[in-house]
Amino acid sequence: MNKDLRHRRDMTNVRVLFSQQLDGNVLKQQQKILARLNISTASNSVEATHFITDKFTHTKNMLEAMALGNLVLTHSWLESCGQANFLIDEKNYILRDMKKEKEIGFTMPVSLARARQKPLLKVNIHPCMPLHCCN
């Protein structure tokens, strides 16, 4: 079996939300990769499965992504996916900021895993209402 086929994953359920903190040139390159791989973008954290950023910030999108258990990844993940031409395992691309993690008292991989098991935010969906988060 071709090695590439063993690692291919379904991209139809992947929806990426980009941090507004990303450099404009990086963002353009990331969007080209998404288009080439036919991966959707999300307009908010509730719709997203992956949040792409380069640094830990206390922005609404990042904190919501973490609370919802979305993967918080560096832009290197998408670059690697683009080079491989398929989705690759995210675990090596989870955002790490040892200084911030120590300062705040958490570890990103553990926090994301816990949030995926038991999200800190619940999503309420009603057919006549837009998506929103609530505690």
Residue 133 pLDDT greater than 80, yes or no: no
- Whether the CB-CB separation of 69 and 123 falls below 8 Å is answered with no
Q: What is the pTM of this model?
A: 0.77
Q: CATH no. for residue 55?
A: 3.40.50.10190
Count of domains for the chain:
1
Instruction: Pinpoint the alpha helices (H) of the chain.
Output: 3-7, 24-37, 60-68, 76-84, 98-104, 108-117
Check residue 122 and give its pLDDT: 62
- Whether the CB-CB separation of 16 and 41 falls below 8 Å is answered with yes
The whole domain housing 94 covers 3-134
Residue 128 pLDDT greater than 60, yes or no: no
Size (the chain), residues: 135
